[in-house]
Homo-oligomer: A and B are copies of this chain.
Amino acid sequence: MSKNPEKLRPKLARLSEALESGALDQARRMLNRGLAPVDVAHLLESTPPKERDVLWELIEPELQGDVLQYLGEDIQVEFLNRMDAQQLVSATEGLDVDDLADLLQRLPNTVTLEVLASMEAQERQRLETVLSYPEDTAGGLMNTDTLTIRPDITLDVVLRYLRRHERLPDTTDSLLVVTRSDKLIGSLPINRLLVSEPSMLVREVMDTDMLSIQATAEDTDVANLFEKFDLVSAPVIGSDGHLLGRITIDDVVDVIRGDAEHQMMSMAGLDEDEDTFAPAWRTSRRRAVWLGINLITAFMAAAVIGMFEATIAQVTALAVLMPIVASMGGIAGSQALTVLIRGIALGHVSGSNVRWLLNRELIVGALNGLLWALVIAAIAVAWFGDLALGGIIAAAIVINLLFAALCGTLLPVILRRLNIDAALSGSVILTTVTDVIGFLAFLGLATVFYL
């Protein structure tokens, strides 16, 4: 496998040529020997369903497991559902325990049991440990390929012990020091092993203040710890202090990416696991729900306008200008909302400083409200030649931007307390508020004045 990215593009070009010209044997050779599994996975993810199925059939069974672990969840499930237990057993041979556990969690229970039954006792036991924790916890994220040593041996013995291995587990940056009963008592960073006198004891050089992670810890918290302390790997322990496995930075990077995608996708009511090339029918069904929720809020805004039909019939300029009031409130509110959602995610926002933030946002809302109220009023007066209309819309803009600030600040704080995902539901609720308040303020003031 070459790590040279420049060599990848011509390979992919030749592959797609081979596919188009029907030279399937050549394409099969390239898929199975010319490309790294991670590149094959990326190719599959970049291919529409029909061509993707053709490609998948060309991949040799032993390679399918390797490729599967790099695929997004949506596509994984699709391919997994087509394989029988026998195929799964051969495909999943040689996978890391944590990747295998991720795959098995997407399978029906009966198939999982069959795969487990086909494994060696030790491997099965390890896998069962990982499977006993939810996927989004430290236990579900960990690997069980830890290298453990005892505290009372010399570093020289450790070096000779390591040399007996053909290779060390990937991303091994420290050896874990355990008691006879597998209780974690320290860690020996490889880099410290290398600079220390070989005659010293592990106990003398090991790090006893190392970070260890409870198996039940949430994956997002694990990611924060890795980031904060620039970790490459960290041991995972059970509630009794026994070593269960370790988490490596590559899995943490996946968690960070996943969280970021979740935040971005859920703002549009989408799922981060969604296949970019999901078929039209499935896509329609998934998106319909979000459109339906937004339709309810749109009808709430319409109901508010409906209360003022008589006013609009008399002054049609109101109908022309009213979307401006609602839109400016929505934009200002979403700015406050985004800053708060990020602040909460970063751990900057706590009970004690929400009051300061609310105060700041209200001042910002007032300042920007006044500024743009003047601009909008001037244009409205010039457009419709009605001085009163200018005053009414200016007042409505200021009112709506203040409500937007209030709502944008408090909404994420309240939703968090209720354990509701603010990225998903925050913007819907916010726009409902700014639409309703915007129409109510503008049309209400106009009704008082004109009728």
The chain A residues found within 8 Å of chain B, CB to CB, are: 2-5, 16, 38, 42, 45-48, 159, 162-163, 165-168, 170-173, 190-192, 194-197, 209-211, 225-230, 232, 249-250, 252-254, 256-257, 259-261, 263-265, 267-270, 274, 276-277, 279-281, 283-284, 287-288, 290-292, 294-295, 297-299, 301-302, 305-306, 309, 312-313, 316-324, 326-328, 331-332, 334-335, 337-339, 341-343, 346-350, 352-353, 356-357, 360, 363-364, 367-368, 371-372, 375-376, 379, 383, 435
Contact = CB atoms under 8 A, between A and B. Distances in A.
Contacts of A211: 3-4
5 contacts: A163-B195, A269-B331, A269-B335, A287-B368, A295-B376
Contacts of A327: 294, 297-298, 301
Contacts of A194: 159, 162-163, 168, 190
Nearest to A252: B253
Contacts of A2: 209
A34 to B, nearest CB: 15
B268 A338 contact: yes
Which among A280, A356, A371, A376 has the greatest number of chain B C-beta atoms within 10 A?
Answer: A280
B232 A173 contact: yes
A323 B435 contact: yes
Which among A298, A312, A341 has the greatest number of chain B C-beta atoms within 10 A?
Answer: A298
Contact of A195 (B45, B165, B210, B228): B165
Given A163-B194, A249-B249, 15 more contacts: A3-B211, A4-B209, A5-B225, A38-B229, A173-B173, A256-B257, A264-B267, A280-B363, A287-B332, A295-B376, A299-B324, A299-B379, A302-B321, A302-B323, A318-B319
Contact of A316 (B260, B312, B372): B312
B267 A338 contact: yes
